[in-house]
Every structure is written in C-alpha cells, then in structure tokens.
Amino acid sequence: MSRIMDDTEQWPEIEKAAIQKRRELVLQGSVIDKRISSYGGLATSLYNLTLLNYLEVSQCPSLTEIHEDIQHLTNLQSLVLCRNKLASIPNVIGNLKSLKVLDLSVNNLRVLPEGMAQLRELNSLNVSCNSLEVLPQGLNQCTKLSTINLSKNHITCFPADFYSERLDLLSTLVASDNDIVELSGDIHKLAALKVLDLSNNKLIEVPSELSDCPKLKEINFKGNKLSDKRLEKMVNGCQTKSILEYLRSKAKIRQADDGGDVDSGCSTDKKKRQHQRKKKEKVEDEQDEVEELNKMVVRILHISDAPTAITVKVSAEVKEVRPYLVCCVVRGMNLKPGNALKRFLVAQTKLHDDLCGKRTIATIATHDVQLLRCPLVYGVKPPTQLKIVPLGRKEMTAVELIRLLQLEADELRKQKKRQNVTGLHKYLQLLQGKPFYPCLTDAEEHVISFPPITNSEKTKIKKSTKELFLEVTSATSLQTCKDVMDALIAKMAELNKFTAEHKEEAGSDGEGGDSPQQPVASSETSSELIIQQVRTVDQDGNLRVVYPSKTDLLKDIGNLTVIW
C-alpha cells in the first residue's frame, strides 16, 4: 500500500467537512490529483468522516488504490470513484452496509471484490469502461439492485447465479461492448427487467425465453452476428415489440414440433414441417432484402464536400478547463411528426448517461441553426460574468444558476428523502472548485452553451427545427468527442428512419407541431441526413479540427451507409 498522507492543512476540504459535520464531500480534478500524486494517496483523515453519506473522488489519474480504511465510512449511501486509475477495490467494501450507489466507471479494474455481494442495500452499480473479464459470484445477494451498467469491458458471460428470482427489482441491465457469447434462457427469471442492452457483443443466439420477461420494454442486440437473419433485421430496426413477438412464436413452434412425435411417421411429418417452415423463411428473407434495397435512400448518409458555412474559434484559455470540442451541422432530421422530438431528446439523455458517463466524460449540446448568430467562439468566463438564459428559465449568471440548482437539489432530497437527485442537479459537482467555466458564445456575445450544465433557451430546438448544430465537448480527449459525435449521428439516422417508417401525425405530442391532421412526409423525402462539416480554429485562424473528417463515421451501423 502506498504512503497515505495525514496532513489536514493540505486537505482543507476534508478539514472543513469535519468541522461542519458535512454529509457530502467531492474531491475532484487536477488540484486533488496533484496532492494524491505528491503524498502517495488520500489523506487518512478522510476515513474519519464517519457522518458522510455521499463521497466522490473522481478525475484523478494518480489514484490507483483505495485504502481499506474506507470500511469505516459506514454511513455512506453513495460512493463515486469514477475516472481514476483504480486497479483494485478492497474486499472490505462489503462492510459499507448502507451503500446504495456505487460508481467505479472509467478505471483500470480487472476484477471486482467478492465482498460486493454483502452490499444488500445496493441499488445502482456502474462499473463501465474498465477491463473486467468476469463478474463476482453472489451478486444475486444484492437483492435491491435496480440498475447495472457493465458496458465497455471484456466480460464473456454472466455467472450462473446471476439469473435469479432474488434480483426481482433489477430493471436495467446494460452490458454493451463486451465479449459475451451466450445469454442463458434463465434470463426470464429477471422478472422486473425493462431495459436490456447487449449490443456489440459476440452473441449468436437470443433465447426465446427472453419473451417471458413480462416488463421488458427496450432491448438492444445490435452489433451481434446472430444466426437468425430475420431476427437480426428486427434487431437492427430496434423493433422491441416485434422481436419479443417473434421469439414468442419461435418458442411455440418449437413446443409444437417437440410434442406428439412418437413414431417414425410422426417424425417424417415433423421433418416436412421443418423443411416447409425453413423454405417459407427463406422466401420471406429474400422479400425483406428486396424491400431493404428499395429503401436504400433511407440508408444513405451524405457527407458534404462543400466549404463549411460555420466556423468555431477556440480561445487558448479553454486548455485548462475543457479543451476538446467538435461540431457539425445536420440537415434533414424530421422532428415534427408525433413523438419524434421526444425520442431524440430521450436518446440524447441516454447517451449522456451511458457513453458520456453522466457527462463526466463528454457533454452533448444541440442548437437550431436558424437561431445561431455566427461566428461562434468557444472560450471561458468567470462564473460571475457568465450570463445565460438556461432552458426553461430566465437569464442569470452561472453563479446564480448553480446556487439555484443546489437549492433545488437540497429541496428534492428533503422531499424524496433520498441522496440521489435528477435532472441538471446531478451534474453540479462537475464544476466544483473551477475558477472559470467553459461556454460557447455567438456573434452578439450571448452564451448559447454552458457545458456540462445546460444550453440556452435562445437556440433551443423545437419540432419546427430543420437544421441542427451539434456540439460535443470533453475534458478527456479529442477522440472522445469524435466517438460521442459518431454515436449521436448514427442514432439520429436510426431515429429518422424509424420516424419515416411509422406514419405518425404531426403535432400529436402537443409541442409546436402542425395540425394533427397533417401526416408525416414520405420516407423518400424525410429520412436522408446531410452532414455538413464544421471547422474549429485557434485564435490565429489555424485549423484545430474538422468534423467529420475522412477517418470519422467509419463504423458499419445497421441502417447507415456513409458516402464520402
């Protein structure tokens, strides 16, 4: 174990928390990281704060281990140790009997401690973006688990005891981007499952028993090479209801084939039925392929070679705050019909929670191009000088906004008697202790984006929006921004196709649409997306990055074809 520092003078946050008997403590960012590097770890006095029920230590690459004294913080309900370089977690973590939220995402973990099975109050577990190959036995003893995120690891299978009726509250299971080769038919034992994401794994089959999960509303098996090609097409189309019905029908056919075939005559009849069924499925597959070819206009994403109309100038000061930015313009996104806008906003929220690591890794912002006043500048402002009209609110400074959100968060905790908060409130800690805040301003010096907190009401997208300006910022890396933007555009293409194929009526969700009698436009005119490049330059006009470049948007994604 590395040397642990016990000098409270060098850790004023810990000293203040002790004096004020605080129940929340956030240690985050480069200042904390330098202390950890200099003194060989966290101050031992941290583990004397036994009143804490929320502890976060994040964005500290020098933090490679957690001392076993963590077990003394027995009142902890939320422990967030994300975006460090942790190689292990002590087994004594199982002594934190009150723990409800455990976030170990974006670290270097290869194994999880078996002591985790003792966390009987655990509700949310996030171990995404690590190097895990297996899960510990006994997770089914954490009977209050509701959400598990295992994405972006090297897991090959779930433990046999994971499929258990004891996990009767588990509603969300995200295990995308792993090496999972098999999903057991016992998956149906997870009766509360609503969301299952196993995209980008190595599955060949999807068990028909999945259709027996009574509450399942959203499934994702994209990026797997399924042997059943009809099922694979449904998967690529995100047709959860159709997938479950198909799996249910396959189960019934199998039951019918297995029942009553006693003598050889019955066996012959069975073979004939199987042959006829396979022949019928082959014909249907060929028909589907023809239909897909006829819809090829839906599958095409154009990259514009024309000179960009929008350029973003990046100031030198952002280097110390949030240095990475990529942008582009998207035309052809149909947000008017039915719930199209709502689906897009929900998809953006999911990307924030998953790929963006709850905005700790990256943040997405969207604007209506028609409401932009170019040129745009990405820079920083002191909190007292950054003024914005936040979505759904009146104009205020960043200081006033953060204070208001903090008050709202405290009130929410009192009302709901729980540690977690929702909405913008859960991102407040991302700016704690920063002397400058990042922002995107327009030609009139109005702040239109304040990452990672909010956009401006001035450029808010609506149902009538025809062109979108997309912006992704990050403190992690430029490639992170590009990866998130790739995923966002792919999702937009998928949603646009869905909108075109489902004849919803405009304005049916009651926000800014046309008359309910006006149907959606045909797929031939509404599904094609056109992506226009946006360049970011430094203060001297030198090119920093252009998106998309020839090396972006290369991933082969279902209904998306890139034309350069």
**Listed range (457-471, 476-490, 523-537) with the worst mean pLDDT:** 523-537
pLDDT score recorded for residue 303: 46
pLDDT score recorded for residue 8: 57
Boundary of a domain, candidates 83, 105, 131: 131
Within a domain: 279: no
Token pair 């949603």 in the structure block, residue: 495
Q: How many domains does the chain have?
A: 2
Boundary of a domain, candidates 131, 156, 173: 131
pLDDT tier for residue 259 given thresholds of 50, 70 and 90: low
pLDDT tier for residue 181 given thresholds of 50, 70 and 90: very high
3-state secondary structure of 179: coil
pLDDT tier for residue 502 given thresholds of 50, 70 and 90: confident
Strand partners, 378: 314, 440
Cα of 107 vs its chain's centroid, Å: 17
Distance CA 100, CA 79 (A): 8
pLDDT tier for residue 258 given thresholds of 50, 70 and 90: low
**What average pLDDT is seen over the chain?**
80
Which tokens belong to 505?
Answer: 């009526």
Cα of 460 vs its chain's centroid, Å: 22
Which tokens belong to 360?
Answer: 């700790």
Q: What is the mean pLDDT of residues 75-98?
A: 93
Within a domain: 375: yes
Strand partners, 360: none
Distance CA 393, CA 387 (A): 12
Reported as a single tens digit per residue, the pLDDT across 32-71 is: 999 999 888 999 999 999 999 889 998 899 999 999 999 9
Q: Which of 522, 498, 520 is nearest to 509 (CA)?
A: 520
pLDDT score recorded for residue 560: 44
What DSSP character marks residue 504? P
Q: From residue 465, give the alpha-carbon distance in Å to each of 258, 283, 299, 370, 506.
A: 55, 42, 22, 8, 13
Q: From residue 547, give the alpha-carbon distance in Å to each of 203, 387, 535.
A: 33, 28, 7
Boundary of a domain, candidates 131, 158, 190: 131
The percent of residues above 70 in pLDDT, for the chain, comes to 77
pLDDT(523) > 90: no
Q: What is the mean pLDDT of residues 243-251?
A: 82
- Burial class (CB within 10 angstroms; exposed 0-12, middle 13-18, buried 19+) of 146: middle
Reported as a single tens digit per residue, the pLDDT across 431-452 is: 666 788 899 999 888 999 998 8
278 φ/ψ sector (left φ>0, alpha ψ -120 to 50, else beta): alpha
Q: What is the mean pLDDT of residues 226-253?
A: 80
Distance CA 467, CA 439 (A): 21
Cis check for the bond before 452: say yes or no (omega within 30 of 0). yes
pLDDT tier for residue 416 given thresholds of 50, 70 and 90: low
| H or E element at residue 350 | helix 340-353
pLDDT tier for residue 102 given thresholds of 50, 70 and 90: very high
For residues 122 and 96, the answer to whether their CB atoms sit within 8 Å is no
Within a domain: 246: no
Give the predicted TM-score (pTM) of the model. 0.52
Distance CA 491, CA 192 (A): 27
Within a domain: 100: yes
Strand partners, 325: 473
What DSSP character marks residue 393? S
Within a domain: 97: yes
pLDDT score recorded for residue 129: 93
pLDDT(190) > 90: yes
pLDDT score recorded for residue 429: 60
Domain holding 522, by residue range, is 298-383+443-563
Cα of 56 vs its chain's centroid, Å: 20
Q: Beta strands 467-474 and 324-331: pairing type?
A: antiparallel
Cis check for the bond before 438: say yes or no (omega within 30 of 0). no
Q: What is the chain's Cα-based Rg? A: 26
Within a domain: 161: no
pLDDT score recorded for residue 91: 95
pLDDT score recorded for residue 238: 60
Within a domain: 1: yes
Reported as a single tens digit per residue, the pLDDT across 279-334 is: 555 555 544 544 443 333 333 344 444 444 588 999 988 888 888 999 999 888 88
**Listed range (263-272, 332-341, 376-385, 455-464) with the worst mean pLDDT:** 263-272
Distance CA 526, CA 503 (A): 12
pLDDT tier for residue 500 given thresholds of 50, 70 and 90: confident
Distance CA 275, CA 269 (A): 10
| CATH number of the domain to which 479 belongs | 3.50.40.10
The size of the chain, in residues, is 564
pLDDT score recorded for residue 143: 93
pLDDT score recorded for residue 476: 82
Strand partners, 547: 534
pLDDT score recorded for residue 411: 75
pLDDT tier for residue 173 given thresholds of 50, 70 and 90: very high
Q: What is the mean pLDDT of residues 535-556?
A: 79
Return the higher-pLDDT residue of 370 and 406: 370
Sheet of 78-80: strand order equals 24-28, 54-58, 78-80, 101-103, 124-126, 147-149, 172-174, 195-197, 218-220
Reported as a single tens digit per residue, the pLDDT across 121-166 is: 999 999 999 999 999 889 999 999 999 999 999 999 999 889 988 9
Q: From residue 61, give the alpha-carbon distance in Å to each of 106, 109, 413.
A: 10, 13, 31
pLDDT(424) > 60: no
**Listed range (87-96, 261-270, 391-400, 451-460) with the worst mean pLDDT:** 261-270
3-state secondary structure of 79: strand
Distance CA 412, CA 499 (A): 36
pLDDT score recorded for residue 506: 56
Reported as a single tens digit per residue, the pLDDT across 387-406 is: 988 888 888 888 888 888 87
| CATH number of the domain to which 55 belongs | 3.80.10.10
Within a domain: 351: yes
pLDDT(503) > 70: no
pLDDT score recorded for residue 478: 85
pLDDT score recorded for residue 404: 85
Most confident of 259-263, 282-286, 353-357, 454-458: 454-458
pLDDT score recorded for residue 51: 93
Q: In 10 A of CB 40, how many CB atoms?
A: 13
